[in-house]
Amino acid sequence: MIGPEEIPVPGVLGLDHTADVGLEIFASDLPELFRRAALGAMWLVLERLPSTEGESHLQDQETDTRVVELAVEELDALFRSWLRTVLYWEDADGFVVVDAELMLLHTALSEAKDGQGFGLTGHAMGRVDQGPRVREIKGVTLHGLEVGPKEEGWWGRVIFDV
């Protein structure tokens, strides 16, 4: 194993795992943590920044916006649900998230055991990018999945199956 690796997304480190890959994310608040995690996941798939590189694949492509509305019982499950959504858009439609404006809420959930949960609302901005991918992310695992406060801000960790 080798140590965490800087990737060109602020506040995001690549993690080493024998067969898989992971991310460690740091941010001052939770919406920013979620935004950075999505950009980190896109980096793992593309190993390039869609907003600044691979422009030949993006000609005439305008940035599109997709609505985000997620609600689950636990914070780490919400984090996973967000990353699953972003990766599904990428895999099914080639839609690569380049930015996001998100808001986190405590919300009432009819299916939650105590009726409470976490919600994520907002918009994800991105473009359909038909350029090359370097990695297929099969799924967002629960293994080592964590989101929590750290020092002055927030920290998250996720391992992807590749």
Interacting residues with other proteins (CB under 8 A): 1-2, 5, 14, 16-21, 45, 47, 77, 81, 84, 88, 90-92, 113, 132-136, 138-145, 159, 161-162
What letter represents residue 148's amino acid? G
Q: What is the CA radius of gyration of the chain?
A: 15
Q: Which is nearer to other proteins, 74 or 99 (CB)?
A: 74
CB 62 to other proteins: min, Å: 22
CB 47 to other proteins: min, Å: 7
Q: What angle do CA 82, 86, 89 make, to 5 degrees?
A: 140
d(CA 13, CA 121): 25
CB 44 within 8 A of CB 21: yes
Q: Which is nearer to other proteins, 19 or 151 (CB)?
A: 19
